[in-house]
Amino acid sequence: MPRIIRTASALQDVDDIWDYIAIQNHHPDAADRLIDAIDDYLNLLLEQPLMGEAVNHLRPGTRRGIVHDHYLLFYEVIRDDIRLLRVLHGARLIRPQDLDR
């Protein structure tokens, strides 16, 4: 059965995003909706793993999906599994080394 494997960096990214939206911006419901959207996107990737754009210039074998027009999910397809590398805001300058953590 295909599964989603989250790296420690991806888990930390999601925690940081939730904290920023829920605590610093005082919108816990919006933070919950975003996390749900990320989970929904990941589940869709299990069915269509190649739907994200290939970003080999950042890291070979890496793909990128977009959630809510702002957050980018960087992942790898490993056999039937999805390995989530990072969840980063699209306004950031994303460098190859950002995906190696």
Residue 39, helix vs strand vs coil: helix
pLDDT at residue 85 in the model: 98
Q: What radius of gyration, in Å, describes the C-alpha atoms of the chain?
A: 13
Is residue 101, in this structure, part of any structural domain at all? no
Question: For residue range 6-16, what is the model confidence (pLDDT) as tens digits?
Answer: 999 999 999 99
Query: Does residue 80 fall inside a structural domain?
Result: yes
Distance CA(69)–CA(77), nearest Å, equals 22
Say if 18 falls within a structural domain. Answer: yes
46 located within any domain: yes
Residue 64 lies in a domain: yes
- How many structural domains does the chain have? 1
- Residue-wise pLDDT for 55-93, tens only, equals 999 999 999 999 987 999 999 999 999 999 999 999 999
Give the CATH number, domain containing residue 58: 3.30.2310.20
Domain housing 76 = 4-92
**Is there a contact between 86 and 9 (Cβ–Cβ < 8 Å)?**
yes
| This prediction's pTM | 0.93
Alpha carbons 57 and 60: distance in angstroms, whole number = 7
